Structure 1
Amino acid sequence: MTEKSQGRALVLGLAAVLLWSTVATAFKLALAYLTPLQLLAIASVVSTLVLALAVSWQRAWGDVGEAWRNGRWRYIGLGFLNPFFYYFILFKAYDLLPAQQAQPLNYTWALTLSLLAVPLLGQRLHGRDFVAMAMGYGGVLVIATRGDVLGLQFDSPLGVALALGSTIIWALYWILNARSQESPVVGLLLCFLTGLPWVLAAAWLSDGFPQDWNGVTAAVYVGFFEMGVTFMLWLGALKTAVHASRVSNLIFLSPFLSLIFISQILGESIHPTVYIGLLLIVGGVILQQWKRRN
């Protein structure tokens, strides 16, 4: 049984949030040299190795085998969604949009999850849900149009569509994975093992593997932290927390910290409307989470 310690949980949670806040910047650094599929191929290989090491550390390969025997076709489908389809769409969105736009738009996945839960899980939307979604998607419009909401002029309509589309794939993945009985690390490793052949085949057939090694370091960083070490830090924080809700609230710091890294490292001048839109998106997510806890 994991020993509870709120102080240790906060340290782990803050470390996870800090690292997650850097990945949008790493995406753009890598995409300056790599195509989205090349970035995905390198990052997926690294993530798979990190998750395999974690399973070895936990001596859980028996659980991996049992989970595979009980649901191989399910994991083949989930692996197609994540890492292959989700990250390809997400990286393509980052390739087309400034990081300061792509990152907040992707953050609306929690709102998309509530929408998909209606037809797929039979849940109902209430008044507060509609207010939260109006805030969140209003924030999307503010960011995507740089404040010219009535003009509806987008820097990249395809990029905006892909960023929002990635939230549908991510929410669908978590809904389909909701009833999983395996530990998160075991389940995620199986998804990456089954998704990796899709990733490598697509990269090889379309763009080939990178000949210029510029950007590979950033891609390795993405694979190591985006769904590898940081994921396990976050799980550790939630497991050791005395009050898990206080730790989970730390995630709301991530998009604001991310803007700092985007500004300081990428040199993007953050448009004032990004802050307004992000406040609306985060406010909508917080409102929805508060309603769910009540």
Structure 2
Amino acid sequence: MTNQQKALIFGLVAVGIWSTVASAFKIALRHLDPLQLLLCACIASILALGGIMAYQGKLRTLLHMETREKARCFLLGLLNPFLYYMILFKAYDLLPAQEAQPINYTWAITLSLLSVPLLGQKLSLKDLGAILLSYFGVVVISTHGDVLSLHFTNLTGVGLALASTIIWALYWIFNTRSTADPLAGLLLSFLCGFPFILSATLFFSELPALTLSSTLAAGYVGFFEMGITFALWLTAMKYAAQPDGGGTVRVANLIFLSPFLSLIFIYFLLGEEILPATVAGLGLIIAGNALMQYSPKSARKS
């Protein structure tokens, strides 16, 4: 099997799993409140990431990590998993999955906006058009297509979903300066974020009375959304970067399949009737993301 085939397989498996998490969030939230779900999922993700690193023989890298990187992971842990998933799970608690999931995909657009003040990047007219296109898609989804009335089905939920994209974008911007092993950095961030998650749960909620259903649902979210799938995606990108791997861009573009596959899972697993406005709005969001990534041949050569 060639590296290109391996990259494609690992990438498709990761995208397939990510496509199920919107449904998994809603199923888990039937049994747990957002903070309880975050607490249980964080424990599961720490076990998953720790198990992967133990299998790879990399657990010692946590001990040998530079003090500066450990401090960075502590701060990143406040963003992800603590703030990001706390806000995201609350958004899913308030919104139908078919609304929360596409809005969450605007994080790449948010990343471009925040890169201007934080990284000194500039936005072209094409970039501005892509941003307007994506956020118009959010309006289409959130108003169920009745964009002229601007009557949002749940304005708080939409606001939280958009706020989660800011946290996620900040996490990746600050993470670009990290020199730590990606899995080690993610595991340490989760370990550092866990005490804050536990404190918030004890203060604002309570420890969950776990049942088989809630344990399986939270475990799935932690193992796959917040743990194993990240390692699968890194493996796909590693194979894609090899000389015969076909290039990372080809694998990265697989992520555009995820939101549409997710709607299929939402329909069959949650029983939500997928509205035409959801499909149209999601198409606008994906088009905006694609336009943001597109560059003319002359610019790519440069």
What is the TM-score normalised by the length of structure 1?
Answer: 0.96
* Correspondence 1:252 to 2:256: yes
Kindly provide the CA deviation profile for residues 225-251 of structure 1, in whole angstroms up to 9, marking residues without a partner as x: 002111111111110121211111110
Partners of 1:28 and 1:95 within 8 A in 2 = yes
Could you tell me which amino acid in structure 2 is paired with residue 57 of structure 1? Y
Cα displacement (A) at 1:46 = 0.5
Which position in structure 1 is the counterpart of 2:275?
271
TM-score calculated relative to the size of structure 2 = 0.94
- Structure 1 CA distance for aligned equivalents of residues 235 and 73 of structure 2: 24
Contact persistence 1:68–1:75 (CA under 8 A): no
Q: Distance in 2 between matches of 1:233 and 1:272?
A: 33
In the TM superposition, residue 80 of structure 1 has moved relative to its aligned partner by 0.8
CA distance in 2, matches of 1:257, 1:95: 21
Shift of 1:134: 1.1
Partner Cα distance (1:128, 1:103) in 2: 25
Pick one of 47, 58, 65 that aligns with 2:63: 65
Structure-to-structure mapping, 1:119-268, within 5 angstroms: 119-213=117-211, 214-241=213-240, 242=245, 243-268=247-272
Give the deviation of 1:68 after TM superposition. 5.2
User: Are positions 1:38 and 2:36 aligned together?
Assistant: yes
Runs of 5+ unmatched residues, structure 1: none
Residue by residue over 1:52-71, the C-alpha shift from the partner in whole angstroms, topping out at 9 and shown as x without a partner, is 11221222233212325233
Per-residue CA shift, 1:260-279, capped at 9, x if unaligned? Answer: 00001100001100000000
Which consecutive residues of structure 2, in runs of 5 or more, have no partner in the other structure? none
User: What is the rounded CA distance, in whole Å, between the counterparts of 1:290 and 1:20 in structure 2?
Assistant: 24
Q: Which amino acid aligns with 1:290?
A: Y
Deviations 1:104-125 (A, max 9, x none): 0000000000000000000000
Distance 1:217 1:4 in 2: 36
How far did residue 212 of structure 1 move?
A: 4.8
Shift of 1:74: 2.0
Q: How does 1:6-85 map to 2 (within 5 A)?
A: 6-67=4-65, 69-85=67-83
1:92 and 2:90 are equivalent in the alignment: yes
Does the aligned pair in 2 maintain the 1:128–1:291 contact within 8 Å?
A: no
What amino acid is the match of 2:214?
Answer: G
Aligned residue for 1:264, secondary structure, equals helix
Q: Which has the higher mean CA deviation after the structures are superposed, 98-107 or 194-203?
A: 194-203
CA distance in 2, matches of 1:179, 1:22: 31
Per-residue CA deviations over 1:79-101 (Å, capped at 9, x if unaligned) read 11100100000000000000000
Contact 2:69–2:180 (CA<8 Å) still a contact in 1? no
2:42 aligned counterpart, secondary structure: helix
- Name the amino acid aligned to 1:28: K
Aligned residues: 292
Deviation of 1:149 after TM superposition, in Å, equals 1.0
Q: Residue 137 of structure 2: SS of its match in structure 1?
A: helix
Which residue is equivalent to 1:284? Answer: 288
Runs of 4+ in 1 over 6 A off after TM superposition: none
- In structure 2, relative to structure 1, the CA distance for the partners of 1:203 and 1:68 (3 Å cut) is farther
For residues 80 and 259 of structure 2, what CA distance do their matches in structure 1 show?
22
